[in-house]
Structure 1
Amino acid sequence: MKISTKYHGEIEVTPEALLTFEHGIPGFLEEKQFTLLPLPDNNEFQILQSLETPELGFVVASPFVFFQDYDFTLDTATVDQLGSPSEKEVEVLSILTIKEPLHESTANLQGPIIINLANNKAKQVILNNSDYQTKHTIFAQPEHAGQKG
């Protein structure tokens, strides 16, 4: 099927590439179908693109690229909603806020996106009982930041 996208223009998407968020994404509850699109010349970042709304595309990345000790436990209800995937069938992504300058960009670690790779069911989970926030800086700050030259 052909879809219009925010960053890639009009592209062809196969049915196998569709992700289903049965309850939408918080703030976008009516958006139930997405696909992941690669960014050219970038292996870390992808676009989580809505199939319904061309303007709705989130920049996402694996949080483990930036935060190796990122860890949380999913509740039983979430695991059931996703079809009870094994650990090897799960992909975790974080929605990024890309800023200018780039080193100020942040990741939402409080609301990871969990994808069951076996059935393409997905859900954004809100971690209420954790120290994770919606804005964690993903790049090391430059040494001269905050200093006057």
Structure 2
Amino acid sequence: MGIKVQTIIMGEVEVDEKAIITFPNGLPGFGGAKRWFFAGEDEDVIKWMICLDCGHICLPVTSPEVVDPAYSPHIPEENLKRLRLSSLDEGVLMVVLNLPRDKPWMGTANLLAPIIINPSLRLGEQVVLMDERYSVRTPLVSEEERAKIEQSIEAPKRQGGEE
């Protein structure tokens, strides 16, 4: 038997208790939001991390390798211990995305604060790294690609294709 939750992106859904990930310390900025689940198909690049405690909180997430194939954060031992992981390889790593509704190509990923999940114990934690290599606003698309997209959108407007 599942738990029913009203979400802003999917309406009412029933969540299998085995799919719930508990974040004992909450997430930074969402202290009371401790129970989450993931929505999306296995093959989806972007999934939704939805708060079971507050269905109006839905965060788009992805694997960090989608954004930066060389992503190799140093996760402090204390974080791994709290999640009961002997190494990061045992866990699942995700990053939160910021996807502007009107310009999704301007989206960014928070590589500075990855989410680590112990899938067997269904425990999670967001770790704020002390690593200058990463940013909370890493672009998903290069500046060059962003410019091309903007130009392709603006061209029809200049030609009178839009009111």
With normalisation by structure 1, the TM-score equals: 0.89
Q: Which gives a bigger RCO, structure 1 or 2 (Cα 8 Å, sep 6+)?
A: 1
Residue 82 (str. 1) matches residue 83 (str. 2): yes
**CA displacement at 1:120 relative to structure 2:** 0.9
Residues 91 and 117 in structure 2, CA contact (< 8 A), matched pair in contact too: yes
- In 2, Cα distance between equivalents of 1:129 and 1:89: 22
Aligned pair partner of 1:144 in 133, 136, 148: 148
State the one-letter code of the partner of 1:2.
K
Counterpart AA for 2:95: S
Aligned to 2:63: 62
Matches within 5 A, 1:20-99: 20-38=22-40, 43-99=44-100
Match for 1:134: what amino acid? Answer: V
1:60 to partner: Cα distance: 0.5
Report the number of matched residues.
Answer: 148
* Shift in Å, 1:84: 2.0
* 1:131 CA drift (Å): 2.0
- Distance in structure 2 (CA, Å) of the matches to 1:52 and 1:29: 11
Q: 2:33 and 2:86 mapped to 1: Cα distance?
A: 23
Alpha-carbon deviation of 1:87? Answer: 3.9
**Cα contact 2:112–2:131 (8 A) shared by 1:** no
Distance in 2 of aligned mates of 1:50 and 1:59: 12
**After TM superposition, where is structure 1 displaced by more than 3 Å over at least 4 residues in a row?**
85-88, 142-149
Query: In the alignment, what sits opposite 2:130?
Result: 128
**Do 1:89 and 1:118's aligned partners in 2 also have CA atoms closer than 8 Å?**
no
TM-score relative to the length of structure 2: 0.82
Q: Equivalent residue for 2:159? A: none
Q: CA deviation at 1:6?
A: 1.9
Are the counterparts in 1 of residues 51 and 57 from structure 2 also a CA contact under 8 Å?
yes
- Aligned residue for 1:79, secondary structure, equals helix
Which stretches in structure 1 are left out of the alignment for 5+ residues? Answer: none
How far apart in 2 are the matches of 1:62 and 1:44? 8
Given that 2:112 and 2:136 are in contact with CA atoms closer than 8 Å, whether structure 1 keeps it comes out as yes
Q: Which has the higher helix share?
A: 2
**Alpha-carbon distance, 1:130 to partner:** 2.8
**Higher strand proportion:** 1
Asked if 1:12 is matched to 2:14, the reply is: yes
Asked if structure 2 preserves the Cα contact closer than 8 Å seen for 1:85 and 1:116, the reply is no
Q: 1 CA distance for matches of 2:73 and 2:87? A: 15
Aligned-pair identity (%): 26
